[in-house]
């Protein structure tokens, strides 16, 4: 075992032996070839008259899965750091134009300019002036196909008066 896991493993074994409680956890081991490898271990104890008489369990090689998960965690941390620290407004959408994420700058801009509270699951389309909705949909579909496209101008909420007029006519039409 790498030196940083040796003390942990010693404490786990002592606890299993002293309490009779089983344990499951992930550790790195050093293979016979000297490589570090992630394993999941499960340790059970057989007790007789409150005394541990036998330890048994399993070792499962989870190296590939663990390394993928660690890379994913690093990637998510980098994304989160950028997402939450940039002064840019960011809104992440599903293929159906539903909001699946946004940073506080985007939420604050929508609140300030449109006087609307947004939440995950809302459609972004009502936030775009009617004159830009179709162009936005076309650009968004091209982007989903991997084509480079600029949508900043289409995502702008535009003139507040245009949006307010669109909103009133929508409200009147749905009445």
Q: 155: how many CB neighbours lie within 10 A of its CB?
A: 19
What is the rounded distance in angstroms from the CA atom of residue 55 to the CA atom of residue 18?
12
What digits encode the pLDDT tens for the residues 92-150? Answer: 899 999 999 999 999 998 888 888 899 999 999 988 888 888 888 988 898 899 988 77
What is the rounded distance in angstroms from the CA atom of residue 89 to the CA atom of residue 57?
51
Q: With 80 as the cut, is the pLDDT of residue 54 above it? A: yes
Angle at CA 114, nearest 5°, toward 109 and 117? 75
């Amino acid at each position: 075992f790498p030196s940083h896991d040796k003390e942990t493993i010693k404490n786990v074994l002592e606890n299993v032996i002293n309490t009779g409680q089983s344990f499951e956890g992930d550790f790195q081991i050093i293979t016979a070839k000297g490589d570090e490898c992630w394993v999941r271990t499960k340790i059970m104890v057989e007790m007789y008259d409150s005394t541990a008489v036998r330890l048994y369990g399993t070792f499962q090689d989870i190296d590939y899965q663990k390394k993928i998960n660690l890379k994913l965690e690093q990637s998510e941390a980098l994304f989160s750091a950028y997402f939450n620290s940039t002064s840019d407004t960011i809104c992440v959408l599903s293929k159906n134009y539903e909001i699946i994420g946004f940073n506080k700058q985007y939420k604050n801009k929508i609140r300030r300019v449109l006087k609307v509270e947004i939440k995950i699951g809302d459609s972004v389309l009502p936030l775009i002036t009617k004159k830009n909705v179709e162009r936005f949909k076309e650009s968004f579909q091209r982007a989903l196909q991997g084509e480079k496209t600029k949508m900043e101008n289409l995502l702008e909420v535009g003139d507040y008066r245009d949006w307010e007029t669109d909103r009133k006519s929508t409200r009147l039409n749905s009445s």
